[in-house]
Amino acid sequence: MAYSRDPSSMMEDYMNLRTLPAAIGIAFTVMSLYMFGAVDGLTIGWGIDYTLTSNHALWGSLAAYALAFASSETRSFENYERWEQITIAGGPAVMVASQHWTWFADQMAANSPHLAIVAFFVSFASYGVLVQ
């Protein structure tokens, strides 16, 4: 049986399944887990032979975060409550600090793995608040 509606409405129905946001969420989670040290040595085979670096994981996580914000129902930072705004801003701040602020990275290494686990959950919670 053929699909009776036009292609744009078919695509709209497909997007209602929320497949793309779910895939973005999985990518964000995997890259964040790698960035905070829970997963070691992610390598893509299939002729590419690329091993994920922590800097690429940061950029990938931030890109997934931006895509999730763009596809969220709210799409405006002002529409969130104050505690949600703080949580949403805290996630990327922790991710950037873990990669580019030497003191923070040293503290994560010294408190292994407790501070890294807290940092992951802060970034994960901020993503959860963002996509609600």
pLDDT in tens, the chain (132 residues): 455 566 666 666 555 556 777 888 888 888 888 888 777 877 777 877 878 788 888 898 999 888 888 877 666 778 788 888 898 889 999 999 988 888 888 888 887 778 888 888 999 899 888 887
Q: How far is CA 43 from the centre of its chain?
A: 19
pLDDT score at 1: 45
pLDDT score at 18: 62
Q: Are 80 and 128 within 8 A, CB to CB?
A: no
Residue 54 to residue 44: CA distance in whole angstroms: 15
Signed CA dihedral, 79, 128, 124, 70: sign only: negative
**pLDDT (tens digit, 9 = 90+) per residue, 114-127?**
888 888 899 989 98
pLDDT score at 93: 92
